[in-house]
Each structure stands twice: as structure tokens, then as C-alpha cells.
Amino acid sequence: MSGPRRAAVLGSPITHSLSPVLHRAAYEELGLREWTYDRFDVTEADLEHFLGGLGTGWAGLSITMPLKRAIIPLLDSVSPAAASVDTVNTVLPAGPGRWRGDNTDIPGLVAALRERGVTRVPGASVLGAGATASSALAALARMRVPEVTVYVRGPERAAQMRGWGERLGVPVRTAPWEEAADGLRAPLVISTTPAGATDALAHHVPAAGRPLGTLFDVVYDPWPTPLGSAWAARDGALLGGLDLLVHQAVLQVEAMTGRSPAPLAAMRKAGEAALAPRTAPVSRPVGGREPEPRSGHDRIGTDPRTGVRGAGRDGRGERGQDPRNGENREHEEHR
């Protein structure tokens, strides 16, 4: 793709999204200095108007909450991955005035685990039952995990997650949230809950001397979470929300620019630098990787076409969280 192109992340709230930091770092590394990546505060009520006002020159959009499912009826097509979980986090042009939805969270989660050597596990636990949890189930289905236990609050959520398991072809057993400490014994634990929801579980991490599996906690701010700190202190393998965020963004950059591979290392450095002021030290390097800080700043403005407020780089996370009930308004993504 030649010439200047535009991309952006849409959602609400969006001010602290890390996506501009990651995508701009990729453009710089790829020599795409005329490309721009912004962010726009777009609600469900604004979404149709915003999409209808997009002109030519757009390479794609990153989608976060509350739009990941709301956008689907406005698209001309969706990928099998997005259709499998009724969730879109990526929108790509499919011809003049036409848009196609995709989901890079699912392969991004698989890629993040693969990077840390986690490719096959005999079982897994998923904490939470929001949209991130359904993407986690889809990722576990791709990894052919034979058994998954999902810890949820309430029978309605439990029924939903069993339904997702049937749809995705992964055996799912549900258990009440009050039993979530039991799930920490699984070879792989994926926490899809918002910040604060798993803090009490930190006291239930198996004692030293008992082998721990891998914890993938999708929170990235604050980091590490109390559960993540306790896990690392007992020499458990630990992945965080930045791992997922970077890997799904890598796939977005490749799809939007047509350039592969995207610069994973540069994107990770930029994300680590943006989060560094809010990141507490852990007892050991997370995943065996020492952070390599870089800097980044941002701006906030208004789209003159739509009057929709947009923002630029200096960001945290765009996922709304409800720590009161251990579930996600949408943690995911993721961005």
C-alpha cells in the first residue's frame, strides 16, 4: 500500500487507549511515516454516522468496547473468527464504502502463549464470562485443549459459557466464582476479569514447592495484579494484558498495511514505555523478558468531519471494567 493512509481505534471511553502507541511504533519501524493512527470516542449511538462519514484513504479500524458486537450489523461481511464469537475488533476496507470485520484477539492470544512456549496443555481454567472469555475459549479450541473450566457468577452466565463451548467445539464445565481458587491448579489459567476482581485469589496461589502452570492475566494497568505478583513470586509462568494487546495489534498492522512481519519488538517496547510509569516491579522478569523503556506522548482533538472527539498517543487501556462482580463490561481487548 503506497501513499499516506489513515487508521484509528474507536470506542468509549477511549482516552487512555494504548493502540495508537503500538500502531505508530509499527509505522515508524516500517518506514510508513505518512501514515496516521488516531482514536475517536464513539458510542453505539454515534457508530453508524461515523462509519458513513469515512472517506477514502482508510486502511482500517481497531474496535473496542462498547462497539465490538454493536458494529457487526453495520458491516458487509465478517471473518469466520469474528463470527465464531460474535465479536469484531478489526475492520478492514472491502471495496468502496464496504467494510469487513475480523477478530485478531483470538489468534493474538494463541500467538502470545506460543511465544512463551505454551502450545499444548491438558486442561485450562478461565476466570470470568465476558466477551474476552469467549475469545479465550475460541483460542483454547484452536489449541485443542481437551477440557476447560470456566468460573462465573450466576447460572445465566454459566449457561452462556457452556453454549459458547458447544459452538466452538471445546468441552466446557462451569463452576461458581466462589470456587475460582480451585481453578488456579490448572496447567493454564486465563483471567479475563477486570482489575481488582481477582485480588482475593492472590492468597490462594498454591504454596511454594507445588508446581504452577501458566497464568495469563489480561489486565495491563495496573500491572502486575496482586494475583500476578503472587504467581511470579512462586516461579509460575506469567503473561499479562500487554502480551495480548501487542500480539493482536501485530496482526492488525499486518492486515492494514500489507506488510509482514509487523515489528513485534518495537511495538512491545513502545507499550512497555507507555505503561512504565504505572508498572510496579515484580519479583522476577515476567516471562523472562526485561522491559526496555521507550517514550511516547499524545494529543486530543476533534474530527472535523463528524464532530467526534478523538485522542492520540499517551494511553492506558480502553476496556471498561466492573470490579464489583468479577465480570467484564469488556475487558477485552484489548485496546
In CATH terms, the superfamily for domain 6-104+249-279+287-318 is Leucine Dehydrogenase, chain A, domain 1 (3.40.50.10860)
| Cell output for 117 | 512456549
CATH 3.40.50.720, domain 106-242, yes or no = yes
* Residue whose cell numbers read 475517536: 40
Q: Determine the Cα–Cα distance for residues 118 and 114; give it in Å rounded to an integer.
A: 5
Q: 10 Å Cβ neighbour count for 291? A: 16
195 pLDDT tier (thresholds 50, 70, 90): confident
Q: What is the pLDDT of residue 282?
A: 60
Residues annotated catalytic, as ranges: 68
Q: What is the pLDDT of residue 317?
A: 35
| Segments making up each domain of the chain, as ranges | 6-104+249-279+287-318, 106-242
| Cell output for 86 | 460474535
**Sign (positive/negative) of CA torsion 13, 18, 23, 24?**
positive
Contact between 131 and 271 (Cβ < 8 Å): no
Contact between 136 and 109 (Cβ < 8 Å): yes
Choose between 80 and 4: higher pLDDT.
80
| pLDDT tens readout for residues 200-229 | 999 999 876 678 999 999 998 889 999 999
CA-to-CA separations, 308 to 47, 50, 221, 274, in angstroms, rounded: 10, 8, 26, 25
- Assess whether the region 6-104+249-279+287-318 and the region 106-242 belong to the same CATH fold: yes
The predicted model scores a pTM of 0.83
8-state DSSP, 120: -
- Nearest 5°: the CA angle 273, 242, 78 is 130
